[in-house]
Amino acid sequence: MTLDSEYLRGSIAAVHSVLRHASCPENIFFHFIAAEFDPASPRVLSKLVRSTFPSLNFKIYIFREDTVINLISSSIRQALENPLNYARNYLGDILDLSVDRVIYLDSDLVVVDDILKLWNTTLANSRVIGAPEYCHANFTKYFTDGFWSDPVISRVFQSRKPCYFNTGVMVMDLVRWREGNYRKRIENWMEIQRKRRIYELGSLPPFLLVFAGNVEAIDHRWNQHGLGGDNVRGSCRSLHPGAVSLLHWSGKGKPWVRLDARKPCPLDHLWEPYDLYKGNLVKDQSSSSTGSSIFLGFSSYLL
């Protein structure tokens, strides 16, 4: 998971939800990716995570934003341009080489089932990632008319049957990822995007270009996404039909923002029990002379 000051409250709630429903929470190890220049320093984030989850197994890695900053193009929503959104592209480089498999989770979700079930996903036929697929979605809308009218670049899907998938929940084989140099494959599409507009969203389309049609399909219950509405209005949404193991507020609307504003959507109340925010502020006294940074205070959760 990524960890930053803006989505910190969501990340803490997500961790809480994973631990609360895990059959063996002591066996879970969290890899947190923090931005190099976030107002919350890695030291402060580590202290906060440790005070909130005293017995948690975790490590915080620093993501150098200059790794990707020159590859990011403008998006339909400014939040999607945050360099940390692209950290998932670099997990094979950031994490220790001994880490050969991970579950990647966004910060705006809660898990309501045993994460071990998701971990046990088999990535067959040398597939690199697994995720819930949505083949009924209009796949063409994720790319511009300029992309589809170009006979050369649109040919990338010629030998595949691409389906939309959301990159906020993925099982990833990092051995295959590193061997296949998938970071570079994603970067190549980002470079094309910088030269000519082939999509409107942020970090999702390059993943679709590289992986769509070659993803291990995971049950939809593991990503009930879109609960944050669309990327413009962030309006309320209802659940998709079927069982639920993970609730995901992808889109503009975030549950903690709507709850604080006393304008929650009905499903935001399902996120609320995992919120450990105490409603007070904690100052980082180690900040530079420009002033102390202010961070959220959280209740502790013991395994």
Quick check: helix, strand or coil at residue 66?
helix
pLDDT digits (tens, 9 = 90+) for 150-194: 999 999 999 899 999 999 999 999 999 999 999 999 999 999 998
Give the model's pLDDT for residue 78. 55
Region 5-12: mean pLDDT is 93
- Phi and psi based region of residue 229 (left: phi greater than 0; alpha: psi -120 to 50; beta: remaining): left
Residue 170 CA to residue 152 CA, distance in Å, equals: 29
pLDDT digits (tens, 9 = 90+) for 35-63: 888 888 888 999 999 999 999 999 999 99
What tokens were used for 155?
A: 């040919």
Give the model's pLDDT for residue 55. 95
Q: What Rg, from alpha-carbon coordinates, does the chain have?
A: 19
Helix (H) or strand (E) holding 146: helix 145-148
Give the model's pLDDT for residue 203. 87
Domains assigned to the chain = 2-274 (3.90.550.10)
* Residue entry with tokens 């549950």: 255
Residue 197 CA from chain centroid, whole number: 24
Give the model's pLDDT for residue 290. 42
Q: Pairing mode, if any, of strands 164-165 and 29-35?
A: unpaired
Helix (H) or strand (E) holding 103: strand 101-105
Q: 76 falls in which pLDDT band (50, 70, 90)?
A: low
Full-model pTM: 0.90
Residue 123: is it exposed, middle or buried by C-beta count within 10 angstroms (0-12/13-18/19+)? middle
Q: Crossing angle of helices 182-195/204-211, nearest 10°?
A: 120
Region 10-25: mean pLDDT is 97
pLDDT digits (tens, 9 = 90+) for 93-104: 999 999 999 999
User: ∠ CA(286), CA(291), CA(293), 5° rounding?
Assistant: 65
Give the model's pLDDT for residue 235. 86
Phi (first) and psi of residue 200, to 5 degrees: -110, -30
Quick check: helix, strand or coil at residue 184?
helix
pLDDT digits (tens, 9 = 90+) for 241-282: 899 999 999 988 999 999 999 999 999 999 999 999 887 555
Give the model's pLDDT for residue 66. 79
Q: 289 falls in which pLDDT band (50, 70, 90)?
A: very low
Give the model's pLDDT for residue 187. 94
Q: 296 falls in which pLDDT band (50, 70, 90)?
A: low
Query: Do residues 277 and 28 make contact, with C-beta atoms less than 8 angstroms apart?
Result: no
Give the model's pLDDT for residue 75. 55
Give the model's pLDDT for residue 220. 96
- Which residues are CB-contacts of 45 (< 8 A; sequence separation ≥ 6)? 3, 8, 32, 34, 60
pLDDT digits (tens, 9 = 90+) for 190-231: 999 988 889 987 789 999 999 999 999 999 999 999 999 876
